[in-house]
Structures are given as C-alpha cells and as structure tokens.
Amino acid sequence: MPTRAEVKAWRSLHRGKGRRDTGCFLAEGPRLVGELLDWPGRTVAVLYADAAPAAPGLRDLLGRAAGRGVRTEAVPEALISALADATTPQPVIAIGEVPVSGWDDVGPGTIVLLDGVQDPGNVGTLVRTAVALGVAGVVGVGDTADPWGPKALRASAGAVLRGPVFRTDAPDAVARLAERGVSIWAAAADGPPMDRAPHEPVALALGSEAHGLSGTLLAAARRRVAVPLAPGVESLNVAAAGAILLDRLRSGNRGG
C-alpha cells in the first residue's frame, strides 16, 4: 500500500502548487494511463482498484506497466476515489513526472501562445488541436491554466504528452520569438479576417474570451487576425477560434 506521505503528495496533485512542489501529475482512466505508458517520460506508479473486474484492457495496462518496470499496486476503491478528480472515478490512475521542456525543444513550424486562457477545458482542447495539426510547440503565458492539471489533461486526451508544452512569461516569449525570427499573429475580435496565410514562421497568440491578449503580446504582434463571423455573432469560444485559425495557418504552410 502507498504510504500516508505518498497519498498526501498524490492528493495534492489536484492543485497547481502540489504539481509544482512534487513535479508530478495525475492521469486518470485507461486511455490516459495508456498514453502515459506509451510516453518515454517517467511513470511513478499505476494504481488500480482492487475490486475492479480483471478486464482485458486493465490487464494489458498492468502488463505494459510491469514491462517498463513501473510500480503497480492494487488499492482500495476508496483510495482511487480520494485521488481522482473526475466526478465518476475510473478504476485506474497513474502518477507521472511532468516533463521539463522549453524553447530548445521547439522545432520549426507554427507555435501557439496561450495568454491568460484560464479555463482548463479550453487549454486542454487547444493543446489537443494544436498537436493534431502539427504545431511545433504550445506555450502558456500569463494566468493560463496549467496544462498538467486533471481537467486540462483530460480535455487534451493525452496530447500534452506529445508536446513540447511549457509555460513562461510574455516578455520572455516575445524575446525568444524575435530571436527566432518568428512573427506573432494575435487573434483579436477586432482584427481583420484572416484573408491570407503566412509564408513565414508564425506564433499564433490566443487570449481569454473575457480579457483578450495582454498588452505585451498585442504590442509585439505583427498582425491581428480574426475568424470571419456571420452578422450578429459577436465571438467564438477561444478553443473553436483557435482550431479554425490554426487550420488556416497549416493550409498556408502547405501552400493551400
């Protein structure tokens, strides 16, 4: 059985401070645990409810974990419920180490800046979309929700494990992008519709629906862009707008 200290540390992973203090995160359910075991980073432990039926999928996960030398333990269902963030806990949970990544891990291609996007569901969805569309990296700045939090991780469907995904502040992002010769295109409701795709490296900056982008990123932006909307429609959810703009950027980079 996990020690009291371990349980206390793992329960703290629901909060950003706990994740920062321990360097770990929680992955809940067979899908995310499977993604974690496919990932080359360190999986600390896999816990499963001792009353859970020995379904083939669970046996497969435990076999894969054992094959990687990962600690696996059957624990009371009450402990799974105590550790889980989801309203309806699933019978398997894993603890993984948050990868340490940064600008050196970002290759050529479109970069996404998430500036003050506070809803973890939107952050996770944007990470999932960005990774699916082949971005070079996702960078959170300002008060953006932690992509390693339980809700963001679930919304990303594990895409955060296929990063690089990391956080910094707006001045650092502006300076680093300038060093790389990457232009910032700011998604802004008052911007003109994106009528042309770039033929240059671009970082797409997406802000919160309530406050938009910070002054630092707006001042550094080479262009403002928006999704053209039907008359009477004021705005889109940031995750929806981001998906549309990223697809347009990708089409441009492919010459479409």
At residue 208 the predicted structure's pLDDT band, cuts being 50, 70 and 90, is: confident
Would you say residue 122 has pLDDT above 80? yes
Asked if 44 and 99 count as a contact pair (C-beta separation under 8 A), the reply is no
Model confidence pLDDT, tens digit, residues 20-76: 999 999 999 999 999 999 888 889 999 999 876 667 788 889 999 999 999 999 999
Supply 212's token pair.
Answer: 């938009």
pLDDT for residue 82 is more than 70? yes
Which segment of 93-97, 207-211, 240-244 scores lowest on mean pLDDT? 207-211
Nearest C-alpha neighbor of 80 from the set 89, 70, 71, 67:
89
